[in-house]
Amino acid sequence: MTMTTASEKLQPPTEPREWSLKQIEAVLSRPIPDSMLRVKEIKGNKITYIPWYTINRILTKYCIGWSWEVTKMETTQDRVFLVGRLTIPTLEGNVYREASGTELLKDVDKNGKPKEIAYGNPICNAEAQALRRAAAKFGLGLQLYDK
């Protein structure tokens, strides 16, 4: 990884295991441009996040050969719990970080009637949450958790 001036672009690796873990963490820890972030409202709070597809693009560019797998998934009557593993090939070998995600499967209002929960599929939402958290453990988007 070479960066000599601010005007020069970072040259991403061209094959797996070209960069060390330190180099990968350094590039992933750079601030994410606002144009790549999204905002959603949860219980009246605005939350800034990185969409899973943006994480995919960044990992594909800087972490050639990365992989993601769901290692555990359980459901209760109203919630899904998921653990995923993000593996990145580095100069030192494969390095992985695991993280969890959870999402409501169903919810009811104060009158006991079913109400709409999060947008999209709850399992996909939990998986995206786990991927964001695992990527953050490598430094990606970590600045979003500083609040």
pTM (two decimals): 0.86
Domains and CATH numbers, the chain: 21-145 (3.30.390.80)
| Parallel, antiparallel or unpaired: strands 45-49 and 79-90 | unpaired
SS (H, E, C) 65-132: CCEEEEEEEEECCCEEEEEEEEEEEECCEEEEEEEEEEEECCEECCCCCEECCCCCCHHHHHHHHHHH
Q: What is the mean pLDDT of the chain?
A: 90
Maximum average pLDDT range among 61-65, 76-80, 119-123: 61-65
pLDDT tens per residue across span 102-136: 998 877 777 877 666 666 789 999 999 999 999 99
